[in-house]
């Protein structure tokens, strides 16, 4: 899946998964697990908002949020998350440790 950030050129991705629903609905995450033939518990959502947290928990997958983005001014560390990081490079470091 890719987001609506600065780099939305679909040619830069190996796979693009789309679903008819968006967060907080869990369908996109369930669809991604089915597409890649993995357990939904193996799908990691990297998000930045309450809707991301709701979707991840509804699907049953782990979630890491960055502390900036579409969080509507609310600190994401109050959400039901597996981890919070300040930057995407920090998220990558955390994933590599796992």
Q: State residue 1's pLDDT score.
A: 44
The rounded distance, in Å, linking the Cα atoms of 77 and 31 is 27
Sorted by where each begins, the domain ranges of the chain are 10-97
- Both tokens of 6, joined, read 């600065």
Return the sign of the alpha-carbon dihedral for residues 45, 32, 24, 68.
Answer: positive
Residues 10-97: name the CATH superfamily: HAD superfamily/HAD-like (3.40.50.1000)
How many beta carbons lie within 10 A of that of residue 35, not counting itself?
Answer: 12
Q: State residue 2's pLDDT score.
A: 41
Q: State residue 40's pLDDT score.
A: 96
How many Cα atoms occupy the beta-carbon half-sphere of 70 within 13 Å?
11
Q: State residue 4's pLDDT score.
A: 44
The 45-47 sheet, strands edge to edge: 45-47, 63-66, 83-85
Given a cut of 50, the residues of the chain with pLDDT beneath it are 1-5
Which pTM was predicted? 0.79
Q: State residue 14's pLDDT score.
A: 73
């Amino acid at each position: 899946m890719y987001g609506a950030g600065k780099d939305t050129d679909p040619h830069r991705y190996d796979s693009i998964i789309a679903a008819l629903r968006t967060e907080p609905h869990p369908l996109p995450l369930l669809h991604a697990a089915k597409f890649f033939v993995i357990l939904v518990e193996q799908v990691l959502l990297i998000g930045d908002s309450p809707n991301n947290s709701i979707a991840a928990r509804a699907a049953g997958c782990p979630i890491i949020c960055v502390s900036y983005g579409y969080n509507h001014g609310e600190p994401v560390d109050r959400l039901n998350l597996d981890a919070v990081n300040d930057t995407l490079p920090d998220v990558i470091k955390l994933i590599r440790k796992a």
